[in-house]
Structure formats: C-alpha cells, structure tokens
Amino acid sequence: MNLVLLGRGKTGSLVAEVARERGHVVRVLCSADNAHACALTADSLQHDNVVIDFTTPHAVMENIEACLRARKNIVVGATGWYQEIPRVRQLVESSGIGLLYGGNFSVGVNLFFEIARTAAAALQHQYTGQIFERHHVHKKDAPSGTAAVLRDVIQEASGTELEITSFREGEVVGMHEVVLESPADTIYLCHDAKSRRGFAEGAVRAAEWLAGKKGFYDFKDVWREL
C-alpha cells in the first residue's frame, strides 16, 4: 500500500520503519510540511491508500477534517481529541470514508483492557480502585488516551468511575496500573511497555485492516481481527 504518515516523533518514526519492513511505500509529513493540514488534499492523496496520524492534540482534528474532505481513510493514533468523537463519528458515517482510532495500538495493552474488564467485578465486592499512568516528560496530554480507555472499560463493566493519577517522568515509554483494594487484600494489574514497537506494529496492521473499508472503528473492538 501507499501510506501517508503524519508526525516524525519517536512513535511516528517507528511506524514508518515497520511499514517499510512490511512492504509498504511510506510518505512522511512533519508539521512544517502539513501546517493546518494543507498537504491533505484530494489531489495530493489520490495515489495513497491510508493516512496514519501520530501528531499532537492540537493538530489532529484539522487532519481528520482534511481527510474527510479528501475522502481518504485515516488511522488516528494521536490522542487528546476524544471529546470530539461523537461529532467525528457522524461526519465519518456521512462521508463514506473509514476511520480507525485507538488509545493504544499494542496487542498487549488491549489484552490488558480485557483483564481489567474482568477484574472490575471486584468493585462490586467492597473494593475501591485507582488508575495510575506514567509517561515520558514530552507527552502533551494527561491523562493518556490509554488511561482514559482503561477508565471507560472499567466503568462499563462495573458502573464505577476510577480516578486517574498521571506522572510525567524521564523517558518512560508508558506504564499503566490498576490498583483494587479491600480491607482483606490488594490486587495490582500493570502493563509496562518496554518499547514503542508494539504500538507501531499495531498501527500499521490497523492501516492494512482499514484499507477499502468504510465506517468508524475503535481499535480495542477490532484488534482480534487483524
């Protein structure tokens, strides 16, 4: 496939590397190349199959809206825009493109969500809970998209919304913890990312899955199909 990657950060650069390893042609655009989504037009994207966005919260909505106008499928790995999901869902469904977003594209993290969903039953048996997330000092949004999804998964399963505590430390790739506590014991659940490669591989596989599809998708609902 021909892919357009938005963002040359650490994760974005690794996405480009993984995509090329899997035989795709990748065109990378940094913020200077794509100010206010100026590079995402129907003409400029006519030979591309999917756009992959790993930019920042302040840029992602302009990129999504440009892909909607250009009728080009997009995988969104950027977070910090989820308050716009209801509006974007409507726009995607009316435009006839495909959009797949994810708070985290790691298969391990999505397994972690399933474990947390099961463990959420403890909150109905006199347990209290908290979520902790740690990332590198350069991460611009807090809480992380992964922590927000984790909170939603637990709330859907238990009816209880947990507080999220965020830390920004050094070069931490990403650590997420759920602590469930009762007078009798404590349950610790933890996912600690050793590198960004799991995120990158999942994002490329998401783009492969989305090619030719229409509709609005959440990675946590489709990752088993990849």
Active site residues: 135, 139
What does the alpha-carbon distance between residue 36 and residue 60 come to, in Å, rounded to a whole number? 9
* Ramachandran angles phi, psi of 197, nearest 5°: -60, -40
What does the alpha-carbon distance between residue 42 and residue 22 come to, in Å, rounded to a whole number? 26
- What is the per-residue DSSP string for the chain? -EEEEE--SHHHHHHHHHHHHTT-EEEEE-TTTTGGGTT--TTTTTT-SEEEE---HHHHHHHHHHHHHHT-EEEE---S-GGGHHHHHHHHHHHT-EEEE-S---HHHHHHHHHHHHHGGGGGTT-EEEEEEEE-TT--SSS-HHHHHHHHHHHHHHS-PPEEEEEE-TT---EEEEEEE-SS-EEEEEEE-S-SHHHHHHHHHHHHHHTT--EEEEHHHHGGG-
